[in-house]
Amino acid sequence: MTLNRPRIKVSGLTKIFADKADAALSLLKAGQSRAEIQKATGAVVGLQDVSFDIAEGEILVVMGLSGSGKSTCLRCINRLIEPTAGSVFVDDVDVTKLSERELMEFRRTRFGMVFQQFALFPHRTIVKNVEYGLEIQGVPAAARHERAMTALETVGLKGWDQHYPSQLSGGMQQRAGLARALALDPDVLLMDEAFSALDPLIRRDMQQELVALQKRLKKTIVFVSHDLDEAIALGGRIVLMKDGRVVQQGTAADFLANPADDYVRRFVEHIDVLGVVTAGDAMRAPAAVKPWHATAAEALASLTQSGEPVMTVVCQDGRFQGTVDADTLKAAGDTELRLLLSDTQACVPTSATLNETVAKLATGRGEIAVIDADRSLRGVIANADLVATLARRHSQPVH
């Protein structure tokens, strides 16, 4: 996958909570630990040399337990918390260098933020809440009303515009919170534990909807969460934080395959493997691939030769077309394969999770193809490959 150039580049971000941070900062640079610095100066190190990139249109999940600095990190991006050192580039602008006036302007147009406790203004109707950011910018009343109504429709709150926040359920309030951020049409969405206060079922719905929305709107999203399942559901890269530092960054599957340390290993211990490992990770090279115009007899010959099970995969110009099973081949003689295709849907994309793959395998005939976005063949998966993948995972030492 080719990443665009980073839209947000966070480098060396450090936050020290103290009246006089300089002394603590020099101790930190001298390599002293958090505890030592707190003992010596009373200063609390909130973030320590945090760096990561976010590509345009990416969802990046900043994850960690409470006190890991993830929320501080998010707030340093739009300077709700003033970082002590380091830089935050959004495109070519270093946010940490902006004057107060410029920062205000930047927040108005570039950042949308969604909060854990929704933070809707209780004295304003839903539509007035959604209009807030535009009102602050000085957008004329009619135009901002229209944009707010569009944003409400996007999040599925049409018809609730004249209600007050207290009249809505938690899930609906957070939809309004999301609409308030989207109404600005910002480049970057900052989401602080946005779904953590919601019921589990509603949380899952919201996660799915956010992913769908993201596909459509292509916003760059920084999502703070303490929930690994949520991070996986959102499907992007993860920055795992602990004690104000980044422990590891990558996908959940990376964490699973190559944990940086015991902490990461423990963190992913109870992960749902079927939901994280993809078909691309579990597939093997296809053995019996035949072109479109090959005859059934030819296919049958190589099928018995290879000792492979039951399927022949049929391709045209390297693109997957369908499968033909052995019984059909035996009965078909010299017929061309393209006329025999029994299952043109026996395939999953490389990005499909094993959960999705299993579902597909269950409806198919024992083997399915793994394909790219343009349907070119990447590999195949049979039941045995799934078992082998799960076995590999469990043979890894777990501490």
Task: Report the interface residues with another protein, using CB under 8 A.
Answer: 78, 80, 103-109, 111, 113, 115, 117, 119-123, 132-133, 135-137, 164-166, 180, 184, 190
In sequence order, the 6+-apart residues with CB closer than 8 A to the CB of 212 are none
99 or 166, CB closer to another protein? 166
> Minimum Å distance from CB 123 to another protein?
5
128 or 360, CB closer to another protein? 128
Q: DSSP code of 365?
A: T
* Short-list 232, 268, 239, CA closest to 354: 232
> Minimum Å distance from CB 21 to another protein?
21
3 state SS of 245: strand
123 or 394, CB closer to another protein? 123
> Minimum Å distance from CB 133 to another protein?
4
137 or 304, CB closer to another protein? 137
* Short-list 102, 83, 77, 71, CA closest to 6: 77
13 or 240, CB closer to another protein? 13
> Minimum Å distance from CB 105 to another protein?
7
Note whether 247 and 240 are within 8 A (CB). Answer: yes
Sign of CA dihedral 117, 121, 127, 133: negative
> Minimum Å distance from CB 118 to another protein?
8
> Minimum Å distance from CB 186 to another protein?
10
**φ and ψ of 153, to 5 deg:** -65, -40
* Short-list 381, 174, 369, CA closest to 281: 381
3 state SS of 314: strand
The rounded distance, in Å, linking the Cα atoms of 79 and 95 is 8
In angstroms, how far apart are the furthest CA atoms of the chain?
85
> Minimum Å distance from CB 112 to another protein?
8
86 or 133, CB closer to another protein? 133
3 state SS of 156: coil
163 or 365, CB closer to another protein? 163
